[in-house]
């Protein structure tokens, strides 16, 4: 997914005549971000269950989903560049 977004941005950059380079995170960075999102997400879901704030539970759910997407993206990464 990151590769496709970067390619689309490169096409847009060439059409606009600008030079903006997007970061291409390494596999280790993606795994670390996935773990952090999972921890934060589980904490927010727990807070949403324990306290009357349902928005915490919703944000936690989004964070857990984001963690799953990042984990899948890190598995699709074939090399460290």
Question: What is the DSSP secondary-structure string of 17-39?
Answer: T---------HHHHHHHHHHHHH
pTM > 0.85: yes or no: no
How many helices (H) does the chain have, and how many strands (E)? 3, 0
pLDDT for residue 78: 72
pLDDT for residue 18: 86
Model confidence over 4-52: pLDDT tens digits? 888 888 888 888 888 877 788 889 999 999 999 999 999 999 999 999 8
Q: Name the residue ranges covered by the structural domains of the chain.
A: 25-81
Residue with tokens 């995170």: 25
Contact 73, 2 (CB under 8 A): yes
């Amino acid at each position: 997914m990151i590769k496709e977004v970067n390619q689309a941005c490169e096409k847009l950059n060439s059409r606009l005549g600008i030079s903006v380079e997007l970061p291409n995170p390494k596999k280790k960075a993606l795994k670390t971000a996935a773990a952090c999102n999972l921890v934060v997400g589980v904490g927010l879901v727990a807070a949403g269950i324990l306290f009357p704030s349902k928005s915490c539970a919703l944000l936690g759910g989004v964070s857990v989903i984001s963690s799953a997407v990042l984990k899948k993206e890190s598995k699709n990464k074939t090399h460290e560049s």
